[in-house]
Amino acid sequence: MSNKLHVAIVGATGAVGVEMLKTLENRNFPVSELSLLASKRSTGKKLTFKGEEIAVQELTMDSFKGVDVALFSAGGGTSKEYAKHAVDAGSVVVDNSSAFRSDDDVPLVVPEINAADVASHKGIIANPNCSTIVTVMALYPLHCAFGVKRIFASTYQAVSGSGAMGIVELERQVGEIASDKKASKIVYPHQIAFNVLPHVDDFLDSGYTKEEMKMENEARKIMSLPGFKASVTCVRVPVYRAHSIAVSAEFEKPVSISDAKNAIDSAPGIDLNDDIANNSYPLPLDVAGLDNCQAGRIRQDCAFDNGLSFWVVGDQLLKGAALNAVQIAEEVAKL
């Protein structure tokens, strides 16, 4: 590919699409031309990139002529319908939906972990699920040190994981409750303000949700660990931005707290924040807007012989979505 690339963002007006645009600018990605694509109702809306206003165009099957990299974040249905047209036009698709993550021919990439897998792409590269990315950012360095076998985890997922409308719903409900009105529900089946919902994504026959199974299935692929197991409960919490995950992990080798902290501290893309004497540990309020994830509360798990418990937080719109996608595009640009 040339030094500068023609980049398209599909779903440019959505929460992740807007973050993709900002991330391209913040990381000084080598953009020669930028196409902002969305549904017909967003056509003509203008977004700013490096001080220049760019009009959003309607997404069609002919939108990808001359496009080198297409960043998709408009839902699985849109990806399944349009990704093939992008690939046929010569684009490399970086897809943020779940449409292709389980496809054996599609690399599932977190660049700090398996950037080399990008080279095996056949036109499409998948961006993992947001809570999976945040979790493996802390888990993988520990796996490298001790060899992970399985985890039990609970997520605390921000409303922005549901898109812009999740934020709107929480804001609206807080206002309604403050005005002694009944909270109206559109996005979630129950009130989210001042509440927690043990329900993210659709339920499966097993009783787990799709979101919960993504952690096991996607982490296996990212870390190349087909035997890895994860039992997860995904919870939506009244936080605007940044996902938090509490993890108890069992390892093959005996664990050391000092070695665990050193593994996290030396790993790319994640910062150690673990000073309980001074009440310092990762908080979504602090991590929102940051590129790096943070891990803390690292301790020996009292239920496993070779176990560690830890708390990891990451901005799911950035590392959990837009930033990771742009980092993948940076790897594509190196090919």
Which pLDDT does position 1 carry in this prediction?
Answer: 47
In this structure, are 265 and 285 located in the same domain? yes
Encoded tokens for 249: 């992990």
In this structure, are 163 and 83 located in the same domain? no
Q: State the average pLDDT for the chain.
A: 97
Strands 307-314 and 243-251: antiparallel
Q: What is the CATH number of the domain that holds 210?
A: 3.30.360.10
Q: Cβ(52)–Cβ(43) under 8 Å?
A: no
In this structure, are 66 and 194 located in the same domain? no
Which pLDDT does position 3 carry in this prediction?
Answer: 80
In this structure, are 205 and 233 located in the same domain? yes
Q: Where do runs of H (alpha helix) occur along the chain?
A: 15-26, 76-88, 111-114, 130-146, 164-178, 210-223, 257-266, 284-287, 323-334
Which pLDDT does position 163 carry in this prediction?
Answer: 86
- The domain tally of the chain equals 2
In this structure, are 227 and 268 located in the same domain? yes
C-alpha to C-alpha distance for 185 and 98, rounded to whole angstroms:
26
Q: Report the length, in residues, of the chain.
A: 335
First to last CA, the chain: 7
Summarised one tens digit per residue, pLDDT across range 238-293 is 999 999 999 999 999 999 999 999 999 999 999 999 999 999 999 999 999 999 99
In this structure, are 35 and 96 located in the same domain? yes
In this structure, are 196 and 281 located in the same domain? yes
DSSP 203: B
Q: What is the CATH number of the domain that holds 81?
A: 3.40.50.720
Which pLDDT does position 284 carry in this prediction?
Answer: 98
State which residues form the domain around 75. Answer: 5-128+321-334
Q: What is the pLDDT along the chain (335 residues), one digit of tens a residue?
A: 458 999 999 999 998 999 999 999 999 999 999 999 999 999 999 999 999 999 999 999 999 999 999 999 999 999 999 999 999 999 999 999 999 999 999 999 999 999 999 999 999 999 999 999 999 999 999 999 999 999 999 999 999 999 889 999 999 999 999 999 999 999 999 999 999 999 999 999 999 999 999 999 999 999 999 999 999 999 999 999 999 999 999 999 999 999 999 999 999 999 999 999 999 999 999 999 999 999 999 999 999 999 999 999 999 999 999 999 999 999 999 99
In this structure, are 68 and 181 located in the same domain? no
In this structure, are 312 and 184 located in the same domain? yes
Q: Cβ(131)–Cβ(244) under 8 Å?
A: no
Which pLDDT does position 61 carry in this prediction?
Answer: 96
Catalytic site positions: 130, 243
In this structure, are 74 and 171 located in the same domain? no
C-beta neighbour count of 315 within 10 angstroms: 26
Q: How far is CA 59 from CA 12, 52, 282, in A?
A: 10, 21, 39
In this structure, are 140 and 257 located in the same domain? yes
At residue 333, φ and ψ (nearest 5 deg) are: -65, -25
pTM of full prediction above 0.75: yes
Which pLDDT does position 2 carry in this prediction?
Answer: 52
In this structure, are 179 and 327 located in the same domain? no
Angle between helices 15-26 and 323-334 (to 10 degrees): 50
